[in-house]
């Protein structure tokens, strides 16, 4: 199924391959590259734009490398296109869809995509640490949110709920349940990657083994932020790391946490036993 045919407004973009499928976008084999974000464009008008409207206005510049078709090439724009598809099919904005289908059922009340929606009396504004100074993100000019590929604001309590949901294979949350078939699709290797801490990529998840234990996860960083979530589905364990600096090595920290869990026998080390 071609995902782009759902968005006829993109017909004018001659540098998009119309044969790209949803699966190609999910596993980053659509070979969309040369992406340039206009991060500086941010005002009240722009904050209300959908992903699709952002494409049409030219917030994104991208092309598809047809010579690399089928090979793995990480692309945020591929996920922004998926967000536009969701908006078109669901008939509501991406943020509202995620709130309705995922965040609400999981009780993730501290997670938002738009700083303007934060209730300062209930949730603390996220901060970042740069140059020895703590800065309030909500007061920094030109902060541009790009959902669904990036920039969701959350708390460690909420992210732990997300990790718990996956580590337990959805136990105790029927309203946001993922079928065993779809979970198997997400966590099945589809293409090899060039990332040092993983062996392959599924649908939205890196896949590999840590100390002999099956692991799936994902990370990301932006100016002032660094995150990493890793799930050990066979061990019913998840680790979530959120940092307000982009210079820290979150993978190294996660490795040390896993070593501690193994030494304390809270996690089974299959490479030894």
- Indicate whether 80 belongs to any domain: yes
Q: What is the pLDDT of residue 146?
A: 62
Same domain for 161 and 246? yes
Sign of CA dihedral 211, 217, 221, 227: negative
- Indicate whether 120 belongs to any domain: no
Same domain for 84 and 159? no
Least confident of 68-82, 152-166, 206-220, 238-252: 68-82
Give the separation between CA 53 and CA 59, rounded to whole angstroms: 9
Q: What is the pLDDT of residue 5?
A: 73
- Indicate whether 118 belongs to any domain: no
Give the separation between CA 100 and CA 188, rounded to whole angstroms: 27
Please name every residue paired with 192 in a beta bridge, in sequence order, or none if there are none.
Answer: 200
* Omega of the bond leading into 148 within 30 degrees of 0 (cis): yes
How is residue 167 written in tokens?
A: 């580590």
Same domain for 159 and 86? no
- Indicate whether 160 belongs to any domain: yes
- Indicate whether 104 belongs to any domain: no
More confident residue, 144 or 60: 60
Average pLDDT, the chain: 77
The whole domain housing 39 covers 4-90
Question: What's the chain's Rg over C-alpha atoms?
Answer: 19
Backbone angles phi, psi at 166, to 5 degrees: -80, -40
- Indicate whether 220 belongs to any domain: yes
Same domain for 163 and 259? yes
Give the separation between CA 9 and CA 211, rounded to whole angstroms: 48
Cα dist. 137→7, 108, 226, 243 in Å? 33, 21, 14, 13
Q: pLDDT category, 150, cuts 50, 70, 90?
A: confident
Beta 200-201 vs 191-192: how paired, if at all? Answer: antiparallel
Q: What is the pLDDT of residue 37?
A: 53
Number of domains composing the chain: 2
| Closest to 57 in 3D by CA, of 84, 94, 28, 19 | 84
Same domain for 81 and 161? no
Domain boundary among 90, 117, 147: 90
Backbone angles phi, psi at 8, to 5 degrees: -60, -25
More confident residue, 272 or 117: 117
Whether the Cβ atoms of residue 234 and residue 212 lie closer than 8 Å to each other = no
- Indicate whether 115 belongs to any domain: no
How is residue 141 written in tokens?
A: 């000019």
**Percent of the chain residues topping a pLDDT of 90:** 25
Tens of pLDDT, residue by residue over 56-113, are: 666 655 566 666 767 888 887 788 888 888 888 899 888 889 989 999 999 998 888 7
More confident residue, 107 or 152: 107
Tens of pLDDT, residue by residue over 238-263, are: 999 988 777 788 999 999 999 999 88
Give the separation between CA 3 and CA 10, rounded to whole angstroms: 11
Give the separation between CA 123 and CA 234, rounded to whole angstroms: 34
Domain boundary among 90, 106, 126: 90
- Indicate whether 137 belongs to any domain: no
Domain boundary among 90, 108, 135: 90
| Tokens 């040092």 belong to residue | 196
Give the separation between CA 236 and CA 103, rounded to whole angstroms: 21
Q: What is the pLDDT of residue 42?
A: 47
Least confident of 30-34, 141-145, 146-150, 254-258: 141-145
Q: pLDDT category, 40, cuts 50, 70, 90?
A: very low
């Amino acid at each position: 199924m071609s995902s782009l045919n759902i968005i006829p407004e993109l017909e004018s973009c001659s540098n998009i391959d119309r044969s790209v499928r949803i699966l190609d976008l999910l596993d980053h084999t659509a070979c969309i590259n040369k992406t340039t974000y206009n991060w500086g464009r941010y005002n009240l008008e722009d904050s209300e734009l959908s992903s699709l409207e952002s494409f049409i206005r030219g917030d994104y510049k991208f092309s598809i490398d047809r010579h690399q078709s089928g090979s793995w090439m990480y692309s945020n724009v591929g996920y922004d296109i998926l967000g536009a598809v969701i908006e078109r099919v669901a008939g509501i904005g991406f943020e509202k869809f995620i709130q309705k289908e995922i965040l609400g059922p999981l009780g993730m009340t501290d997670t938002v995509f738009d700083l303007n929606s934060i209730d300062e009396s209930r949730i603390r504004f996220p901060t970042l640490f740069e140059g020895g100074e703590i800065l309030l993100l909500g007061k920094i000019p030109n902060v541009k949110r790009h959902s669904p590929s990036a920039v969701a604001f959350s708390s460690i309590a909420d992210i732990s709920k997300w990790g718990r949901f996956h580590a337990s294979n959805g136990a105790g949350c029927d309203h946001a349940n993922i079928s065993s078939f779809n979970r198997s699709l997400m966590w099945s290797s589809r293409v090899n990657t060039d990332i040092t801490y993983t062996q392959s990529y599924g649908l939205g998840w890196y896949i590999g083994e840590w100390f002999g234990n099956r692991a799936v996860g994902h990370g990301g960083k932006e100016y002032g932020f660094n995150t990493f979530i890793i799930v050990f589905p066979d061990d019913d364990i998840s680790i979530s790391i959120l940092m307000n600096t982009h210079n820290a090595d979150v993978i190294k920290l996660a490795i040390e946490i896993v070593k501690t869990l193994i030494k304390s026998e809270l996690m089974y080390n299959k490479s030894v036993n």
